[in-house]
Structure 1
Amino acid sequence: MKQDVKQGVLLYAGKAKQVFSTDDPELLWVYYLDQATALNGKKKVAIDGKGTLNLHISGLLFKELAATGFPTHFVTDMDNQNMLVRRAKMIPLEVVVRNRASGHFVSRFNVTPLRVLDPAIHEFYYKSDALDDPFMNDEQIVALGIAPRATLDTLRTMADQVNTWLTARWARAGIELVDFKLEFGRLADGTLVLADELSPDNMRLIDAQTHASLDKDVFRQDEGPLVPVYAEVLRRLQATQQEVHHV
Structure 2
Amino acid sequence: MKLTYTGKTKDVYALDNGNYLLKFKDDVTGADGVFDPGANTVGLTIEGAGRAGLSLTKYFFEILKEKGLPTHYIEANIEEATMTVKPATVFGNGLEVICRYRAVGSFLRRYGMYAKEGQPLDAFVEVTLKDDEREDPPISEDALHMLEVLSRDEYKVLKDLTQQIGQVVKEELSKKGIDLFDIKFEFGRVGESKEIVLIDEISGGNMRAYKDGNYIEPLQLEKLMLETN
State whether TM-score is above 0.5: yes
User: Which amino acid in the other structure matches residue 17 of structure 1?
Assistant: K
Query: Relative to structure 1, is the Cα distance of residues 101 and 89 closer, same or farther in structure 2, using a 3 angstrom cutoff?
Result: same
Other structure's SS at 2:149 match: coil
Equivalent of 1:230, from 218, 224, 228? 218
- Residues 114-153 of structure 1 aligned to structure 2 (within 5 Å): 114-117=118-121, 119-153=122-156
- Residues 5-24 of structure 1 aligned to structure 2 (within 5 Å): 8-24=1-17
Equivalent of 2:159, from 153, 156, 170? 156
Matched with 2:99 is 97
1:45-87 superposed Cα distances (whole Å, 9 cap, x missing partner): 2222111111111111111111111111111112321111111
User: Which amino acid in the other structure matches residue 202 of structure 2?
Assistant: L
Matched with 1:169 is 172
Moved more, 41-50 or 188-197: 41-50
Q: Does 1:38 align with 2:41?
A: no
User: Which amino acid in the other structure matches residue 209 of structure 2?
Assistant: L
- Residues 56-67 of structure 1 aligned to structure 2 (within 5 Å): 56-67=55-66
Partners of 2:9 and 2:28 within 8 A in 1: yes
Shift of 1:177: 1.0
Matched with 2:202 is 198
Shift of 1:43: 4.8
User: Which amino acid in the other structure matches residue 90 of structure 2?
Assistant: M
| Distance (Å, rounded) in 1 between the aligned partners of 2:171 and 2:50 | 25
Query: Relative to structure 1, is the Cα distance of residues 41 and 150 closer, same or farther in structure 2, using a 3 angstrom cutoff?
Result: closer
Shift of 1:232: 3.0
Matched with 1:217 is none
Matched with 1:108 is 110
Partners of 1:57 and 1:234 within 8 A in 2: yes
Q: Which runs of 5+ in 1 are unaligned?
A: 1-7, 215-228, 242-247
Equivalent of 1:183, from 186, 196, 213? 186
1:119-138 superposed Cα distances (whole Å, 9 cap, x missing partner): 33111101122322111011
Matched pairs, number: 216
Matched with 2:35 is none
Q: Which runs of 5+ in 2 are unaligned?
A: 32-38
Query: Relative to structure 1, is the Cα distance of residues 41 and 183 closer, same or farther in structure 2, using a 3 angstrom cutoff?
Result: closer
Query: Relative to structure 1, is the Cα distance of residues 50 and 63 closer, same or farther in structure 2, using a 3 angstrom cutoff?
Result: same
Other structure's SS at 1:173 match: coil
User: Which amino acid in the other structure matches residue 23 of structure 2?
Assistant: Y
Other structure's SS at 2:11 match: strand
Matched with 1:219 is none
| Distance (Å, rounded) in 2 between the aligned partners of 1:43 and 1:183 | 18
Other structure's SS at 2:132 match: coil
Query: Relative to structure 1, is the Cα distance of residues 85 and 68 closer, same or farther in structure 2, using a 3 angstrom cutoff?
Result: same
Give the TM-score of the pair, scaled to structure 2. Answer: 0.88
Matched with 1:222 is none
Partners of 2:72 and 2:86 within 8 A in 1: yes
